Structure 1
C-alpha cells in the first residue's frame, strides 16, 4: 500500500510516518520533511495535482491549523474530493462536542461551541457526504514522551513562569501519540467507516493532566497556576472502537507514570 500522510511535519503526522509499514509519501505545508511533498490543503487544484501524481492507496489526513477555518474545514473536504475511491482516515477531535455530564459515543451528534470545534464538525459533515466509507477518527489531547506535544510545552512554559493557567473545569480523555498513530494505521487497514473514537479510557481535568506531566518531568506539580475556566466535559467513549483494535489505548495515569 502507498500511504499519503498529510500534516507529516506535525506531532501526530510524524508519528504516523514513523510507525507506518507501508510505502509512505508525507506531505507538508511550511516545514519540509524528508521525502515529503509540499501541499497546501486549502488549494483544491494543488491537492488534486498531488493526489493524482502520488496515486495513494490510502490517506491519513492529520493536517490542521487550529485558528484557520480554511485549513481545518475546507482542507479535509478538498482532500476527500480529490481522493474519492481511495481509503481515507480523517483525524477529528473531541471538541466537536460542547460538553455534558456523560461521555459521548460514536453515535452522538456534533454540537460544537468553539470555532475550532465548528471547523472540525464542518469537515466531518463534508467528508461523510463525499465518502461515506471514510473513517472519522475523533481523538482528544495528544501526549508524547519527549515534551513535544502542545500540552507538554504549555506545562513547561508555566513552570518557567510564563503567563497562563491550567483549567480545572475542562475534562478530557488524553491519548498517547504512539497509541493513536498505531490505531489510525489499523483503522486504515480495516473495514471500519464513519465515526470512530480513539481516545484514552481515563478522563482527567486539564489541571490534573498538567500535574501528571510535571511530576513525570521532575517539575513541581503544585506550583502550576490554575483557574476553573469555562466548564466543559467532552469525554469520548472509545469502547466500541477499542474492540476493533489490536492496539490498546492506554490511560493517562499509565503512560504518564513517573
Structure 2
C-alpha cells in the first residue's frame, strides 16, 4: 500500500516517519510544506498522481492558536482551504483521506466527555478554521475519516512537555493553570492509531466517519505539569493557578475530554493511559 503523508516535519508527521520504519510492506511518501503546500491544488493533484496513494494522511495544519486570532486569514487558508484541496484530490483519485482535527471545535462548556455526535461550537479562530475544514471535507465527500485529538506532545517541535522540561530545568517553581481539563495525547500513539486505520480500511468502502482519539484518563494542565516533573526527576515545584492569571488571546476550552468509545469499537484500537505514554516518551528522552 502507498501512503502519502502531508505535514511530515510536524510532531505527528515525525512520529509517522518513525513508525513507517516498522512497516516495510507499505511505501510511504512524506511531504512537508517545502515539498507540498496543501493549499496549492495543482501541486496536490500532481503529488497524488505521482505517489498513487491508497491513503493520504493529512498531518499539516496551522496550529498557532493565539497567532490565529491576529492572522485568521492564514489559519483558514491552511485549515479550511487546504483541507478542501486535499479532499478534492482524494475524491478525484479514489483515495482515503485521514484528516486530523482538534478538540478546539468544542467550546468546553460541559462536564462530560465529548462524543462525535455532539454539536461543535468553537470559540477561537483556530477552532473555527479546523471545524470549517471538517465541514468542507464533508461537502466535497471523498472517502474520509476525520480524527479529532487533544493536547498533543512528542519529542519533536514545540509542545507543553518540552516547555515544562526546559522551564523545570531552569526554575525552582512554576505556576500552571488547574481549571482547564482535557487529556494529554502522545503523538506516537495517535500515529499508531492512524496507521492501524490506514492498514485495515476496506478500499471498496466509502467512509464518512469522524472519530475521537486521545490517551485515556483526564488531567488539568497542572496535573500534566506535575507528572512531567515527577516522571523526569526534575525538582521544580508546580503551583496551581486559575486561567485568569494567564490571559491568552485565544479562549481555551475549559473541558475538552474526548469520548473514544467509537474508535475503539470500530477499529479495535487499544488506547494507553496518558501517564503511561508520557512516561514512555520521557524514558526515551533520557
Q: Tell me the TM-score normalized by structure 1.
A: 0.88
Does the 8 A contact of 1:158 with 1:224 survive in 2?
no
Map 1:58-73 → 2, pairs under 5 A? 58-67=55-64, 68-69=74-75, 70-73=77-80
Aligned residues: 249
Asked whether the 8 Å contact 2:87–2:142 carries over to 1, the reply is no
The yes-or-no answer on 1:152 pairing with 2:161 is: yes
Q: 1:21-170 maps to which residues of 2 (within 5 A)?
A: 21=23, 22-30=26-34, 38-67=35-64, 68-69=74-75, 70-84=77-91, 85-99=94-108, 100-131=110-141, 133-144=143-154, 146=155, 150-159=159-168, 160-161=170-171, 165-170=175-180
| 1:209 correspondence with 2:218 | no
Residues 226, 44 of structure 1: alpha-carbon distance in 2 compared, 3 angstrom cutoff: farther
Distance in structure 2 (CA, Å) of the matches to 1:155 and 1:207 = 11
Displacement after TM superposition at 1:235 (Å): 0.8
Instruction: Find out whether 1:228 has 2:242 as its counterpart.
Output: yes
| CA distance 1:73–1:226, shift in 2 (3 Å) | farther
Give the 5 Å matches for 1:1-20: 1-20=1-20
CA RMSD of aligned residues (A): 2.3
Unpaired segments ≥5 residues, structure 2: 65-73, 244-251
Q: Is the 8 A contact 1:172 1:233 kept in 2?
A: yes
Asked if 2 retains the 8 angstrom alpha-carbon contact of 1:7 and 1:64, the reply is yes
| Partner Cα distance (1:231, 1:14) in 2 | 27
**Bigger proportion of residues as helix:** 2
1:39-76 deviation digits (Å, cap 9, x = unpaired): 01122222222222222111010111213311222111
In 2, are the aligned partners of 1:175 and 1:250 still within 8 Å (CA)? no
Change (3 A) 1:147 1:40: closer
